[in-house]
A and B are shown apart, each in its own frame.
Chain A
Amino acid sequence: MADVPAPDGSDEQAPVGVAVRVRGVTKEFGSGGSLTKALRGVDLDVPYGELLILAGPSGCGKTTLVSIVAGTLEPTAGEVTVLGHDLVAMRRGRKVGFRRDNVGFVFQAYNLLPSLTAAENAAVPLLIAGWRRSLAVEAASAVLDELGLGDRLASLPSELSGGQQQRVAIARSLVHGPRLLVCDEPTSALDAENGRITMELIARIAVQPDRAVIVVTHDARVYSFADRIATMEDGRIDRVAAGPRGE
């Protein structure tokens, strides 16, 4: 990989090249008469510094593909290399640590813990990594402040709007500095305005030269934020086109 200066101007060089490489990946569920082929030989590259939108109708395999890339699902066949690691060869136990250290998630249903405050929820990845609670919450509070929720740190999820909850989820996905961010339908539970704000935040804050961002969506309103748009159909990548950001 060629080196480029890190965005903060430090001597550490941000990686260049492909963050995610998928070759010939298939995924089958069930067996015999109930066999379902969710992926039928997918090839895909996602470079660092890119926001890739994975689009397509429901049931086309978007969620299955991103689950495999994130390391939460194993392919039936094919090669999956993420951040230089062969996920197919990686043991399940090591994948847990790999996700903890390298992957951030933004879920469709937020999946915030209802009894934790916004700051505590955002701190969860650091708590998983073994940080002391006070330090983890402090770090998470800084990220929430950057996302405009500095005055809602002590609020419970039930006291936040949908858009605010998703911003907490975004903070949670970024607090530990992951190099791969996976967003599964981040705007589908939001209205148009909050959806736009969410995608703006992801595009502005999440996309970094040393990070790849994959957004799974069937919401065409968010296509304008993409560097590239990969459209899936029936378990395959149908086409990959440059997005408005990448043009």
Chain B
Amino acid sequence: MLWVAWKMLIGNRVKYLGIVFGVMFAALLIAQQASIFCGLMSLTVSQIRDVEGVDIWVMDRNVQFVDDVKPLSDTELFRVKGVPGVDWAVRFYKGIARARLQEGSYEQMILLGLDDATLVGAPDGVFMGSIAALRTPDAVIMDEAGYRRIWPGEPYRLGRVFEMNDRRAVVVGLTKASRTFQSFPIVYTRYSQAVLFAPPERKVLSFVLANAEPGVACEEVCRRITAQTGLQALTRQQFVWKTIRYYLAKTGIPVNFAITVLLGFIVGTAIAGQTFYLFTVENIRQFGALKAMGTGNGTILLMVLSQALQVGLVGYGVGVGLAALFGYAVARGQSRLSFFMPWQVLVIAAVAVFLIVLLASLLSIRKVLVVDPAIVFRG
């Protein structure tokens, strides 16, 4: 009888497509908006993720997110190194610098200062030049966005000189780097060079990057660092989630996206529900005839649910597929829109679609369960 239910459903093409459209619309909107939201959130932590090979970030205890830099004294590095379980620890500078553009205006850039000796935190997407070249005077490695901003339309070329915070900087390498939340270009240099570029301050150390000794859990080392130094020590993942939580709690971003997702859910439910109900009403005599001929309410219920499930699967597949296609187009194009579709978005969209088809079918289920088989005897 499920086959009969399926044939009844697709027999009315217009209504079938209408129900699928409602579900597809909801799935598309939910998946797309959730993915854009995830993309935005991933931008907020891109600088943490781009620092490869570092398990522990040590910072001032009042730091709330990665861009909330509160300078440390240089001696903090040695205090962290002295904590049992710390394999190594290095300095890391993060700040904002102003680069002078060709036409005379200025562009803000994220300036990252890597430990002079180890260059820990160097980008792994260098496609022109080399990281080792950072050891030369005034050397910087710039990301593609920064290069295009300072020298728009010009081909990539190493050795170019520009002004940053009124000091000379020489481009010795170009790298691919993840976009940041502020969309500022990123410039890498040595720590000792970075403090020269940075405005003069008493304290300039932004973070201490560290790794745990083999066999010692990172969380345990973090706990020890905090206990011994009073500083805030977080694993890479902890720092990522702390930053994301900050943006979730302190900005209107989640609320805006949640409203859009909710609207998509409501509109999808309304369209799918109304069309599904109309479909059921149009077929009520057929359902009545089936009941008269000996189809039990349990089978009728299964028939309606299978119809709902079928449109749910098709609508979900098409909707999520279109959302993924959108993401692919964004990635390939020059759009500044961020898009990231983790498996959790697919699950959320699937749950939402399941709820939509369940709600959409409830009215119909009620209608067919209470239909009196005797109605088929009336003309």
Interface residues of A, Cβ cutoff 8 Å to B: 63, 66-67, 70, 72-73, 93, 96-101, 103, 105, 107-109, 111, 113-116, 120, 124-125, 127-129, 133, 184-185, 188, 216
Q: Pick the contact of B7 from A70, A108, A113, A216 — CB < 8 Å?
A: A113
> A146: shortest Cβ distance to chain B, in Å?
20
User: Do B379 and A111 touch across chains, with their CB atoms under 8 A apart?
Assistant: no
> B234: shortest Cβ distance to chain A, in Å?
61
Within 8 A of A (CB), among B1-57: 1, 3-4, 7-8, 10-12
Assuming A73-B374, A127-B1, is B294 touching A111 (CB within 8 A)?
Answer: no
Q: With A63-B378, A99-B292 given, can you name 19 additional A-B contacts, CB distance below 8 Å? A: A67-B374, A72-B292, A73-B372, A73-B374, A96-B295, A96-B297, A105-B292, A105-B376, A109-B379, A111-B285, A111-B376, A113-B286, A114-B11, A115-B11, A116-B7, A124-B4, A124-B290, A127-B3, A129-B294
Residue of A with least CB distance to B7: A115
- Residue-wise interface mask of B (295-321) relative to A, using a CB-CB cutoff of 8 A (1 in contact, 0 not): 111010000000000000000000000
Please report the total number of B residues contacting A with Cβ < 8 Å.
28
Q: Which residues of B contact A93 (CB under 8 A)?
A: 296
User: Do B296 and A105 touch across chains, with their CB atoms under 8 A apart?
Assistant: no
User: Do B286 and A111 touch across chains, with their CB atoms under 8 A apart?
Assistant: yes
Q: Which residues of A contact B290 (CB under 8 A)?
A: 124, 128
B293 at the interface (CB under 8 A from A): yes
> B292: shortest Cβ distance to chain A, in Å?
5
User: Do B293 and A100 touch across chains, with their CB atoms under 8 A apart?
Assistant: yes
| Interface-centre pick from B8, B292, B297, B379 (highest chain A CB count, 10 A) | B292
User: Do B379 and A115 touch across chains, with their CB atoms under 8 A apart?
Assistant: no
> B17: shortest Cβ distance to chain A, in Å?
14
Question: A58 vs B180: C-alpha distance in the bound complex, in angstroms?
Answer: 79
Question: A97 vs B378: C-alpha distance in the bound complex, in angstroms?
Answer: 22
Q: Which residues of A contact B1 (CB under 8 A)?
A: 127-128
List the 4 shortest-distance A-B pairs measured between CB atoms, nearest first.
A115-B11, A100-B294, A111-B289, A99-B294
Question: A113 vs B4: C-alpha distance in the bound complex, in angstroms?
Answer: 9
B343 at the interface (CB under 8 A from A): no
Offer 18 A-B interface pairs, CB within 8 angstroms, sorted by A.
Answer: A70-B292, A73-B372, A73-B374, A97-B294, A99-B292, A99-B294, A100-B293, A103-B294, A111-B289, A113-B4, A113-B8, A124-B4, A124-B293, A127-B1, A127-B3, A128-B294, A128-B295, A188-B379
B373 at the interface (CB under 8 A from A): yes
Assuming A96-B295, A100-B293, is B373 touching A72 (CB within 8 A)?
Answer: yes
User: Do B10 and A133 touch across chains, with their CB atoms under 8 A apart?
Assistant: no
User: Do B377 and A66 touch across chains, with their CB atoms under 8 A apart?
Assistant: yes
Residue of B with least CB distance to A95: B294
User: Do B293 and A125 touch across chains, with their CB atoms under 8 A apart?
Assistant: yes
Q: Which residues of A contact B373 (CB under 8 A)?
A: 72
> A224: shortest Cβ distance to chain B, in Å?
23
Question: A72 vs B11: C-alpha distance in the bound complex, in angstroms?
Answer: 28
Question: A122 vs B373: C-alpha distance in the bound complex, in angstroms?
Answer: 19
Q: Which residues of B contact A115 (CB under 8 A)?
A: 7-8, 10-12
Q: Which residues of B contact A116 (CB under 8 A)?
A: 4, 7, 11
Q: Which residues of A contact B7 (CB under 8 A)?
A: 113, 115-116, 120
Assuming A127-B1, A127-B4, is B11 touching A109 (CB within 8 A)?
Answer: no
Question: A114 vs B378: C-alpha distance in the bound complex, in angstroms?
Answer: 19
Question: A109 vs B289: C-alpha distance in the bound complex, in angstroms?
Answer: 10
Residue of B with least CB distance to A98: B294
Within 8 A of A (CB), among B124-148: none
Q: Pick the contact of A108 from B4, B293, B379 — CB < 8 Å?
A: B379
Residue of B with least CB distance to A111: B289
